[in-house]
Structure 1
């Protein structure tokens, strides 16, 4: 009686489906980790908290107002009088250009309104005001 003859001898096989699952998992992992690597190069300001904070996907221009009231275009200091002309040149070529206004929470409300007015007079149609996520 030979028992060995009844056994099915199988050779090892390469399982493709689990390998595809692992590759997709790694792909999603690296895609999600690169989202956290994006760093917005602007002047550091202490943003006020807000319950609804939304971040634009496209790269907007960033105008910052520091706690001393100094105005910044990205990281470059700019005078309020020069802001409108510079923005008008950009809006002329890119009418849908988004602008994010980042103002320190200790800046006077009137200063923020003056800057917002200059942005609107320059023709900015997409204006966002930056805020931090409120801690619960």
Structure 2
């Protein structure tokens, strides 16, 4: 029986390029997954500043009023009647239903008051206004 010469065996090599590819793939996967978990409601409005801003983690209904006065819900333009009907339907199924209004800081205050008044007339009582926190005293 003929045995191989122990010097002819190749030394094991460590392939690092496939490991880097796998790590990069996992990094991208977790980054994309975490971004899809974040609920993004931002439409690029400049919110007014306030010092006593509180985080509202349970806001299910975020309405945005852009500078031109258009109403947006979940990234889509919506008419006021449809908005109020949708809010009433969601409030009927959820006792903790709340609405957060994100209005551009340069918008006419009358438009914001009109939307708030419409929600109040529809029977929605948990209303909030979004603002950016100002750090200066």
Partner residue in 1 for 2:51? 51
Secondary structure of the residue aligned to 1:62 is strand
In structure 1, runs of 5+ residues without a counterpart are: 1-33
- CA distance in 2 between partners of 1:42 and 1:116 (Å): 19
Kept in 2: contact 1:42–1:62 (CA 8 A)? no
Superposed CA RMSD: 1.8
Equivalent-residue separation in structure 2 for 1:121 and 1:84 (angstroms): 10
TM-superposition CA deviations, 1:34-71 (whole Å, max 9, x none):
8xx84532311100100111111224210000011110
Uncovered stretches (5+) of structure 2, i.e. residues with no partner:
1-33
C-alpha distance after superposition, 1:65-91 (max 9, x if no partner): 001111011211111122211111111
TM-score normalised by length of structure 2: 0.67
Q: What secondary structure is seen at the aligned counterpart in 1 of 2:102? A: strand
Please say which of residues 101-110 and 76-85 is displaced more in the overlay: 76-85
Residue 26 of structure 2 corresponds to: none
Q: Aligned pair count?
A: 101
